[in-house]
Amino acid sequence: MKKRIIIALSVILLLGTASLTFAGDNPLRAEEKKVNASFAALIPPDKIISVNQFYQVYQDVMAGKKKAYLIDVRSYPEFDAFHIEGTDHINSGLMYTIPKKIIDPNAEIYIWCRTSHRAKYVTGFLYKYGYKNVWLYKGGVVGWAKAGHSFVNKYTGKFKITEYRKHPSDAEKSYRIR
């Protein structure tokens, strides 16, 4: 009995590893890129802003000079790790809840994520829903960090990311005790 379980687990592991090997050839990935581009096409070009433009909007909203919704659409763990102080959060997978929370179709809404992939979907959907004043902040938190702006979280307070890395460094991978 134990031998059969070990063989079954080995086969499952082998098939799982093989599927990861061929993931780069996945035709669905190419289709996802097309779908993302179709949502990005729904966003008027003049509604896509840079980090400097978004920073000015952020400053105006925080100073009370402007009324707008500033919405980070990253996942809960990403937002919990760090976010732009004073901004709202709605996970991109829950974008369908936005019309329940923001009922004015003319409300000024700014959307971003880590780089802008998920934000394009959400911004495009908001235009499909009927919103008319939605802005895509294209730089995301990566652009915010590279521009030297600060973040906040509930564990450490306010801080700046001095070097953004998409993947852990060799030193981070080499911990001996974990």
Of the two residues 33 and 10, the one the predictor is more confident about is 33
Task: Tell whether 91 and 140 lie within a shared domain.
Answer: yes
- Domain check: are 140 and 71 in the same one? yes
Task: Check whether 106 has a pLDDT greater than 50.
Answer: yes
Instruction: Judge if 67 and 27 occupy the same domain.
Output: no
Q: What is the pLDDT of residue 11?
A: 46
Same-domain pairing of 31 and 54: no
How far is the C-alpha of 19 from the C-alpha of 25, rounded, in Å? 10
Between residues 100 and 22, the one the model is more confident about: 100
Bigger pLDDT: 13 or 11? 13
Mean pLDDT computed over 9-20: 51
- Here the CATH number for the domain that contains residue 80 is 3.40.250.10
Query: How many folded domains does the chain comprise?
Result: 2
- Angle ∠(104,108,113) on CA atoms, nearest 5: 115
Distance CA 67, CA 70 (A): 10
Share of the chain above pLDDT 90, in %: 74
* Cβ burial 57-72 (10 Å sphere, 16+ → b, else e): bbeebeeeeeeebbbb
Q: Can you give the residue range of the structural domain that contains 110?
A: 42-173
| Residue-wise DSSP of 135-157 | EEETTHHHHHHHTT-EEEETTTE
pLDDT in tens, 20-47: 555 567 889 999 999 999 999 999 999 9
Report the pLDDT averaged over residues 115-124.
96
Q: Tell me if 11 is assigned to some domain.
A: yes
Assess whether pLDDT exceeds 60 at residue 18: no
pLDDT tens, 45-63? 999 999 999 999 999 999 9
15 and 31 fall within a common domain: yes
- The predicted model scores a pTM of 0.81
pLDDT at 16: 54
| 178 belongs to a structural domain | no
d(CA 36, CA 118): 8
76 with 160, same domain? yes
The mean pLDDT of 137-165, rounded to a whole number, is 95
Query: Burial, 91: exposed, middle or buried (Cβ in 10 Å; 0-12, 13-18, 19+)?
Result: middle
Distance in angstroms (rounded) separating the CA atoms of residues 177 and 83: 29
